């Protein structure tokens, strides 16, 4: 029996309760994305957790979603 919540197994609100299972996994960091958490989904179905979205720079985010960096060439006359 848990000495904090006085239940066995622990109540879900107890700080000693195990983490709920992952609904899916972040493509960038490999961390779990649990039910009720927001995430971004690419067209191929892979996911990006909100922690990664907040931490990566715009260029990496664009690359993650399939954008390519290119260099414009001067047009000829």
Three-state secondary-structure class, residue 58:
helix
Domain boundaries defined on the chain: 22-64
pLDDT tens per residue, the chain (77 residues)? 899 999 998 988 899 998 889 999 999 999 999 999 999 998 888 899 999 989 888 888 888 788 888 898 987 55
Amino acid 34: pLDDT: 94
Phi-psi region of 26 (alpha: psi -120 to 50; beta: other; left: phi over 0): beta
Amino acid 77: pLDDT: 59
Amino acid 23: pLDDT: 94
Return the exposure string of 34-69: e unless at least 16 CB atoms fall within 10 Å of the residue's CB, then b. Answer: eeeeebbeeeeeebbbeebeeebeeeebeebeeeee
Amino acid 12: pLDDT: 85
């Amino acid at each position: 029996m848990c000495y904090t919540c006085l239940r066995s197994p622990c109540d879900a609100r107890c700080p000693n309760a195990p983490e709920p299972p992952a609904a899916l996994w972040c493509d960038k960091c490999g961390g779990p994305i649990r039910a009720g958490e927001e995430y971004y989904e690419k067209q191929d179905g892979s996911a990006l957790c909100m922690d990664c979205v907040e931490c990566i720079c715009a260029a990496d985010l664009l690359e993650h979603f399939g954008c390519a960096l290119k260099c414009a060439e001067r047009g000829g006359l």
